[in-house]
Structure 1
Amino acid sequence: MSLAVFLAVLAAAAMHASWNAMVKVHLDRFLSVTVLTMGMALMALLAVPFVEFPRAEVWPWILASTLFHMGYKLCLIGAYRAGDLAQTYPLARGTAPLLAAIGGIFVVSEVPGPLSIIGIVLLCAGTLVMSFRGGGHLEKLNLHAVGYALATSVFIASYTLSDGSGARLAASASSYAVYLFLADGIWSLILCLLVRGPQSLPAMARNWKAGVITGGLSGTAYWIVMWAMTKAPIAAVASLRESSILFAMLISVFALGEKMTVWRSAAALGIVAGVVALRLG
């Protein structure tokens, strides 16, 4: 992984942590994510005149990724209902890169080198420690919540591999990203109407500004990731992206005044060690 790609993915991770910290609209999390997705679609719509329309062979990847994103969101809804999302979501994020690394061997024939494998494992371990011991307790997890978290990780790994493959096949990562965000926005709106009904529209419309801001950050961050996956191994990029957990911890400590515990410090060291290993690998 070149230095430029490495720094770009770290910047994307910081953006990812930032928009997560900014999602504080007066809506529940499902509607907040829908507003964010619609914000991404709006930004993509503005970019349509500047990118190439995807060729026919690219659309199966876009449509597959749209379905994977929908499955991801539905599993998140289940995780909200089943248990403490502060733990189940990081569990999903922490295991997804491992699944992406395994899937990458079969889908795109990418076998990580020894240092990259060490980096992926360290990043995943640090993420899991951060979620389980950074503020909560492992014993509170229930099997139902764990099931949803692991299902979420499968969908994350699936759309990661799909987007990496599609972006490589497209004329450019920008072309793929723009039409993916548009397709995801349309399907998210359909999903919202099916789950919450038309009465959810006025509530989301009142928070359109938050959607534009967070959607812009989220879209930019994920566009960088898709571009990076055209330049470096998918598993390495997917793992490095999870350093967003470290940036989220720094925001919580220095901006929100939360306590820096021993477990948080250990998790941070693990993530940093994983980042260094991925750079050297």
Structure 2
Amino acid sequence: MSDWLTAIEGTPAGEQAALWLALTAAFLHAVFGALQKGRHDPWLSRGAIDAALVVISMPVALFMVPWPEGRVWGILVGAMAIHFVYKLGMALAYSRGAFTVVYPVVRGTGPLFTVVGAWIIFGESFAPLQWLGVAVLLAGIFGLAIYNLIHVETGRDTLIPALWLAVGTGALVAIYTTYDAYGIRATPDPFTFLAWFFFLTALDFPIIAALRWRNMAHRPPLRPLLWRGLAGALVAWGSFGAVMLATRLGKVGEAAVLRETSPVFAAVIGWLILRETVGPRRIALMTLIAAGAVIVEVAG
């Protein structure tokens, strides 16, 4: 698999693969967000997911892929710090605001900063029509967040701090997307970076979650939480792994924009699973998001 991926880098086949990987990441990231937000405390959900990630990723990192060399170790340490702060932001935002309000804001602030970061670091540029697509996509994402904010029925007293946290966390999305793209491009075997990334960046939240669970007056049963963690870990491998491979095969900015179609999937998940309301206006806003992504891809 590694040989095939490196062989199609910089080719039309690689660009096509990057497109489908980014869209797959969008769907799976919405599933991942719903798993963290669901009926369990978001801190515990994230801890359970990370614990399962450690169990799944450790044997892969230690025995199935080449070990990192040289500066890759330093890149991985940087990724640990960035993703720890990102996960803190997500947990704090989810504990204060509704999933369908917080999630679009987090994802909406990410692509614009990522496109700028990709231009500065990788020399990528967008055509004017692609910038129009970004504007359309962001209008849909932030319109969806504003609509949800107006119509949310519970937790309104904590929504303002939740939104500020969501904006800050969205900036961290741009930072980690650009940084992870740099890391996976700097590693000869992309699966080396992926395996060690998932192993090392998941070591922190199981400790936080265990301490939180121990201090709870009413502790939730562990078995359902652990099953949710396993499901989330598998989804995380698919979601974060897919987008990082997409940034290696194609443009970082385009992959970031396509991944931000995830609020469309998130709204559907919120409606079907979390029982949050979806109406014609939200459907129209989700159509804007999809249209923006199509414009970016076609114009590119």
* Normalised TM-score (structure 1): 0.86
Is the alpha carbon distance of 1:41 and 1:118 closer, same or farther for their aligned partners in structure 2, counting shifts above 3 Å?
farther
Q: Supply the AA of the counterpart residue of 1:149.
A: A
Contact 1:92 1:152 in 2 (8 A): yes
| 1:83-139: CA deviation from partner (whole Å, max 9, x where unpaired) | 555423321211111111112222222222323322322222212122221x33189
Q: Supply the AA of the counterpart residue of 2:188.
A: A
Partner of 1:147: 164
Q: For residues 269 and 70 of structure 1, what CA distance do their matches in structure 2 show?
A: 33
Query: Which stretch shifts more, 136-145 or 215-224?
Result: 136-145
Q: For residues 25 and 251 of structure 1, what CA distance do their matches in structure 2 show?
A: 11
Question: Structure 1 unaligned runs (5+)?
Answer: none
Question: Structure 2 unaligned runs (5+)?
Answer: 1-13
Partner of 2:243: 225
1:195-214 correspondence to structure 2 within 5 Å:
196=212, 206=223, 207-214=225-232
| 1:230-263: CA deviation from partner (whole Å, max 9, x where unpaired) | 0111121112111111122234456677654232
Partner of 2:189: 172
Query: Which stretch shifts more, 71-80 or 155-164?
Result: 71-80
Partner of 1:182: 199
* Normalised TM-score (structure 2): 0.81
Contact 1:68 1:156 in 2 (8 A): no
Contact 1:167 1:173 in 2 (8 A): yes
1:238-253 correspondence to structure 2 within 5 Å:
238-253=256-271
1:50-61 correspondence to structure 2 within 5 Å:
50-61=64-75
1:59-74 correspondence to structure 2 within 5 Å:
59-74=73-88
Q: Supply the AA of the counterpart residue of 2:112.
A: L
Contact 1:31 1:204 in 2 (8 A): no
**Post-superposition shift, 1:22?**
4.3
Matched residues, number? 278
Is the alpha carbon distance of 1:157 and 1:23 closer, same or farther for their aligned partners in structure 2, counting shifts above 3 Å?
closer
Q: For residues 243 and 119 of structure 2, what CA distance do their matches in structure 1 show?
A: 19
Partner of 1:7: 20
Q: For residues 289 and 21 of structure 2, what CA distance do their matches in structure 1 show?
A: 17
1:68-87 correspondence to structure 2 within 5 Å:
68-80=82-94, 83-84=97-98, 86-87=100-101
